[in-house]
Amino acid sequence: MQRNLYMAVTIAAVSLFASCGESTSPVPKSEISAHRTEWTQRAPAAYEYDYRLTGFFISFAGREIHVVVRDGVVQSATDVATGEPMAGPLTTWPTVAALFDEVTKAADAGMLRGVRFDPVLGYPTEIDLNGQPDASGSVFATGLRALP
């Protein structure tokens, strides 16, 4: 069951990344790479952010999930509305590095319609994916804050 959830999230994330942005033109890989370099140079060792998927047929689609990451590993994922920890393995929830991986995979698959990046840290804040109806939508990563 955990593997099926991971696969659904991965498919949803790839599909979601493909439909991002206002333009239907592909995002140049050089732009994705430049933002990834920017993130790598400025990334805090510990951070938190809010994650949300829309448009996918997944149980948590539309829900805001608060994700805490330390040393490149997700430490917790909490439903913002209820304050309850999310069910399943923490590997279900992406680090910013994993978001970049999904953007690259979606671009390679021709499913990335657009992506927006944070102007200061360079991480993807919105990824739009264009896939099949159950694998299309958007991924949002907002409110990223460094942790002590």
How far apart (Å, rounded) are the C-alpha atoms in residues 8 and 94? 13
Q: Are 102 and 139 in contact (CB under 8 A)?
A: yes
pTM: 0.79
Domain containing residue 8: 2-146
In the chain, the number of structural domains is 1
**Angle, in degrees to the nearest 10, between helices 96-108 and 29-42:** 170
So what's the pLDDT on residue 15? 39
How far apart (Å, rounded) are the C-alpha atoms in residues 138 and 37? 23
pLDDT along the chain (148 residues), means of 10: 39 40 63 96 96 76 90 96 93 96 92 94 94 77 97
So what's the pLDDT on residue 134? 63
So what's the pLDDT on residue 43? 94
Please report, as a single letter, which amino acid is at residue 54.
T
How far apart (Å, rounded) are the C-alpha atoms in residues 122 and 38? 6
CATH assignment of the domain containing 138: 2.50.20
So what's the pLDDT on residue 131? 76
State the residue for tokens 């991965």. Answer: 10
